[in-house]
Amino acid sequence: MKKTLYLSIDHKGLLEIWSGFRKLEMSLDIMNEYDKSLEEWNTIKEGFDLNKGYAVSSAVDFPSEFGVDDAILNTFINSMLGKEEKSVMAS
Q: Please state the length of the chain.
A: 91
Gyration radius (Cα) of the chain, Å = 12
Instruction: Indicate the DSSP class of residue 29.
Output: -
Q: Give the helix ranges, DSSP H, for 6-63.
A: 34-42, 58-61
pLDDT grade for 87, boundaries at 50, 70 and 90: very low
pLDDT grade for 88, boundaries at 50, 70 and 90: low
pLDDT score of 18 more than 60? yes
Q: Give the helix ranges, DSSP H, for 4-91.
A: 34-42, 58-61, 70-81
